[in-house]
Chain A
Amino acid sequence: MLLLNHTPMAGFELTPSQPAHLEPGVGAPSHCSAEPARYPDKENADPQKVAFLLHKQWTLYSVSPLYKFSSADLKDYARMLGVFIAAEKQKGLAVDMNGELGVRVAMSGLPELRSSEQDPAAVLVQLSLRSSVSPKNSEEKLIWSGWFCCVAGDDLLEDLPENFTCLPLFLVNGAESYTAIVGSWFQKTFDCCFRRLAISPLNLTWMAAMWTGCKVENNKAAMELLFSVPHLPQPLNISYAIHPEDAKALWDTVQKTPGEITQEEVDVFMECLYSHFHRHFKIHLSATKLVEVSTGIASAHCDGIIKFLQSQYLIGVLMLLTELAISQIQ
C-alpha cells in the first residue's frame, strides 16, 4: 500500500494512460530528437558558467508571474534592492553584520538556463558583504544567492499578456532573513507571490526513477532513499542505499520505451525496491513516507530542497522543478 500525501493544490500526476515524454537531457542522452524550437546547447549548459550552482543546497519557491519586470533594468533593480536592504537593516530586522560597509547587490541574467528562446532568461541575485577596512581592497564575500528561472514553462507562458514575466521557479541559498527581505521587495515591486514549493512523495518517486535512468560516468554515489516513519514515540528514519549500477540495471529492465516513462513503470520500480527491502528487514517501506531521494545527478528533499550534482542534467532537473512550480501557481 503506497501512502501518498495527496495535495490537490500541487499535483504532478500522470495517469497510466499518459506516458510522459522525457526530454533528452534527462532520459537517455543518446536520443537527441531534433525539435525545431530547441535551444542549441540545451543538453549541456556550459559547465563552467553553471558550476557555481552545483553542490549547494537550494530551497525552492514558486513565484507567480512578475508584472512589469524588464531584464534590461537589472542594474537599476539591484540598486533599489540595495537601498531597501539598507533601510531594513536600520529597522533592526536584518541579521546583524559587522556593522560597517554593508551589503552589495548584484543582479545578472543567466541566459543559458532555459530550454528554448520562448523561455525568459533566468535572473540571478547575489548579495555580498564588503568586509574590509580599506575600500580599495574590498574583498567581497558572497552571503546569499537566489535565482529565478523558467525551463519549458509553456503551460503558463502561452496565456500571459506582454507585461508579465513568467519565472515560476525561485531557488535560494543563504540566510532566511535575507530571503525574507529580498522576497518582500520582489513582492512589493512586481506584485508577485512567493510560496514554498514542497515535493510530494509521489514526485520524489518519479525523480528517483528518472534520475536512476540517466547515464553518468564514474558515478560513485549510491542511490539513496530516506524514509520517515512518523507517529512513533521516537520518529524513525530509514535510509536505504542502493548501488547505482544495480539501480540502473533494475530500471532498465522496467522501462519499456527509452525516452518515455509511465506511472506504472515508476510504481513497478519502487515496488521492486520495497520488496527487496522487505525480504531482508521485514519492513514495508510502502507504508512509510518517502522524504528524500539522492542519486548521482541530484538530491531532492520533500521540504523543497534540491542539490544539483551534475551540470549535464541541470536543465532536465530544472524542467521538472519548473513543472512543479507551475502546478502550484495554477
Chain B
Amino acid sequence: MQRRRSSKHSKQPLQVHHSNQTDLSTWRKGGTVGTEKSAQNHQSLSDQKNDDEQDSLEQALSYFVKSLPPEGFDVLLDVALSGKLADTVNTRLLKSLIPASAIPESSIVSSVSWFCVSKCSSNIQLLFLRWLITMFDFIDHKEGVHALYGIFFSFLNDEKLCPYICHVLFLLTRKENGESSFGMQPHLQALLSLYKLFCPELVSITLPQKMKTYFKNADGPWKAAISAVRQRNLAKSAVPQPLLLGTAQPRSRKRKWNTQLIVPASSANAQHFLVGGKMSRVDSYGANRAFPVEQLQTFPQLLQNIHRLEFPSQMGSVLTNPLLLHYMNCSKDESVYLRLYYWMGQTLQEECTWCVVDNNQYEEEFKGFLETVYKAECFLQEGFPSCEEFLYRSLPLWDGVSCRSQILQLITWIPLSTFSEMKSQLCDPLAQLFFTSSLYFKCSVLESLKELLQNWLNWHVVQLDSESDSQFSSLNTTLSGLVNGVAELINFVGRISTAALHLEKSHTFLLHFILDFYETVCDIYPKYKLPLLIMPPAGVFYPALLSMDSVNLNQLCYIMDFSSCLNFEFWVYKSEIEISAFSPHVRQR
C-alpha cells in the first residue's frame, strides 16, 4: 500500500495541462480579462478577501485551457506574486505560465516590483526566479529588464536566492555593467568571469581556468515539458473526452493482453495432444479420430466428416467460419452454445467503447467485431442471446454516435420473446436518441425497426411451417404473444413517427421511411399469415395524404388499397383464431 501511494504522489510533473484540457472550461468566465479587472484586483486588497481570492483564482483558472497569450501574463504574474493565494496555488500558477508566443516586458517589470515588495513567500520568489531564467528567451523586449539590473544585484546578499540571481544577472549582463563582487562560488565565478571579459580592470581576483560549466541546467526537465506543451498546442485538434462511467482502471498504453476483439483462428484443442494423445495411440487404427478443424475448407468436406468434427478450442473462431456455423446450427450440444455465449458476452461487455473508460480509442476494432457478429447472425438467421443482453444493458448508456450503424443492425435481430419484458430497456433510450438527433438518424432507426419487424414475421412463418403437423395447437399461445409483441412495436413506431413528423415538418425523406414501415405492416396478414391489421395513425396518415411529393402519395395509396381488400377475409380469419383458442381440438384451417 505504501508503495502505491508514493507512486501516486510522484506523478506530479505538469499534469495540470493534461488533465485540465476540457474540465476547467466550466470554470471559465465569459470573455477575456481586461485591464480594468486587474486594476480591481489591486484595489480590493483590503476588502472582502475571500471573494477577491475566488475571483482571481477563477480568472487564473480560466487561462488553463491552453498556453497563454501575451496579455495573460500581466494578470497571472500579479496574482501569483501578490501573495493573496496559498503557496501551492502560486506554485501551480507559475509552473503553468507557458507562453503561446511571447511574454510582454511590462509584465516582467511589474512582477519584479512584486518580487521586491516580498508579499509572497520566499519559495515563490525562488520559483519566480527559476521561471524567469527558463522563460528568458521568450521575453520580447529586454530594455526594461536590463534597467532592473541594479535591483537584481541588490538581492545577491540573500543566500538562498543568490545562485539564481546570479544566473539572471549572467543572462542580463552586458558591457555596461561592471562591478566587483565577493566569494568564489561557481555562480559568482561565472558572473565574475563575465565581468572580467567586459571590464578586466575592475576584477582583481584571479579565476580558475578549468571550471566551464557554471550553472547547472536545473530546469532542463521543465524546459522539455514546456516545449512539449507548446508543440501540442500548435498542433491541437479537439478530441472529445469520453464521459467517465464506471470505475476508471489504469490501463497501460499498449493494448491489454486479454482483449478478444480479434476473432481467434480456428485451431484444434491443445488438450487433444494431452488427453487425446493417450487415446489416439489406441484409436489410430480406428476411424474415430477427430477431423482437424484447420483442414475444413469446403462444404463437401463438412458433410463427409460431420460425424467426427470437433469444435475448435476457442468457440469465438466460428464467427468467421461459415462451415463451422453450419455445424453449430446442427449441433445439439448445449456446451457449444454456452461457450459462445460466455465468450461473446464477456468480449462485448469488456470492449464496449461507451461503457468503459479508455476504450473509445479502439472504436474501429469494436466496430469490426460488431460487424462480424452481425454477419454471423444474418447467416444463422437468428440473434445471439449474449448480443441481445449486451444491447439491453448498453443501449441506455449509448450516445447514438459510437458504432451507430453496427448497433442499429444488431437491433434487428432481437428476438420477440424477450422484447415484451425488456421493452423499456430498448424503446426508451431509442426514443430519447430518436427525438434529439438528426433526420438521418431518425430514418436509420425507422429502417432498423422495419427490419426487426420483418425478422419477427419471417420467424413466425418458419415456425408455422415447422409446426404444421403438430398435434396440439400450441400455436395459439405463441400466436397471441407474437401478435401482442408485434402490435406493441407497431404502436411504438406510430407514436415516434407522429412526433418526428412534427419535429421535421413532414420531411419527405422521413415520411418515406415511415410509410415503408407501414407497407411492411400491411403485409402482415397476406404475406405472413398473422391476424393483425393496424392502420397508420392520424399523425402519419394526414401528412402523407397532404404531402406534395408523389413518392409518399404512391406509398400511401398502396397501403390503403391493400388494407381495403383485406378487410373481410381478415375478420373471418381472426374469428377462427379466437374460436380455436377456446377449443383446442379445432384444427387450424
Interface residues of A (CB under 8 A from B): 5-9, 57, 61, 64-65, 67-68, 73, 76-77, 80, 160-161, 163-164, 176, 179-180, 183-184, 187-189, 191-196, 198-201, 226, 231, 233-235, 237, 292, 294, 299, 301-305, 307, 328-329
Contacts and interface: CB of A to CB of B under 8 A. Distances in A.
B317 to A, nearest CB: 10
B19 interface: yes
Contact of B355 (A9, A73, A299): A9
B258 A304 contact: no
24 contacts: A7-B245, A7-B355, A9-B349, A161-B338, A176-B252, A179-B257, A183-B258, A187-B258, A188-B313, A188-B314, A189-B271, A194-B258, A195-B349, A200-B246, A233-B19, A234-B15, A235-B15, A237-B9, A292-B1, A303-B247, A303-B250, A305-B4, A307-B1, A329-B346
A196 B249 contact: yes
A80 B269 CA distance: 13
Given A6-B246, A9-B246, A188-B264, 6 more contacts: A7-B355, A64-B343, A67-B339, A73-B275, A193-B346, A303-B247
B238 interface: no
A191 B315 contact: yes
Interface string B510-537: 0000000000000000000000000000
Contact of B346 (A64, A73, A163): A64
Interface string B21-63: 0011000000000000000000000000000000000000100
A163 B258 contact: no
A189 B19 contact: no
Nearest to B11: A235
Nearest to A198: B247
Contacts of A76: 274-275
Given A67-B339, A299-B1, A195 B346 contact: yes
A199 B349 contact: no
Contacts of B260: 187, 193
B182 to A, nearest CB: 40
Interface size class of B (residues with CB under 8 A): 35 or more
Contacts, number: 126
B346 A7 contact: no
A237 B8 CA distance: 9
B298 interface: no
B148 to A, nearest CB: 31
A179 to B, nearest CB: 7
A191 to B, nearest CB: 5
Interface in B1-19: 1, 4-5, 8-9, 12, 15-16, 19
Contacts of A180: 257-258
A303 B335 contact: no
Given A193-B258, A234-B92, A329-B342, A164 B335 contact: yes
Give the 7 A-B CB pairs with smallest separation, nearest first: A180-B257, A193-B346, A7-B246, A64-B342, A198-B247, A194-B258, A231-B23
Contacts of B4: 301, 305
B256 to A, nearest CB: 8
B350 interface: yes
Interface in B56-106: 61, 64, 88, 92
A329 B61 CA distance: 43
Contacts of B257: 176, 179-180, 183-184
Contacts of B264: 188
